[in-house]
Amino acid sequence: MLKTTNLMLNETAHQRRLRAIVKRLVIELGYLEHCLATGLQDAQVETAAAGIDTAIDCLNEHLVSLREDGFTEP
């Protein structure tokens, strides 16, 4: 029982950290998109924005799968 409780607490902390990372990535993506919208023509910035967008999607999918597997916040 104690191991299960510790696992759930660790998983909950893991989910919170992932959500915080997603929030930060969304902010950074917004900044990059703003830079591109104001005329910055840089292939590396465009690639970075696409990569961040993909990372956000992947992390969100992972969080959804954790929720579906029964790992929820207390």
Tell me what pLDDT residue 50 has.
97
Tell me what pLDDT residue 74 has.
46
Tell me what pLDDT residue 60 has.
95
Whether the pTM exceeds 0.95: the reply is: no
Tell me what pLDDT residue 24 has.
97
Residues sharing a CB contact under 8 Å with residue 8, sequence separation 6 or more, in sequence order: 71, 74
Region 50-59: mean pLDDT is 97
Give the model's confidence band at 13: pLDDT under 50 very low, under 70 low, under 90 confident, else very high: confident
pLDDT tens for each residue of 14-29: 889 999 999 999 999 9
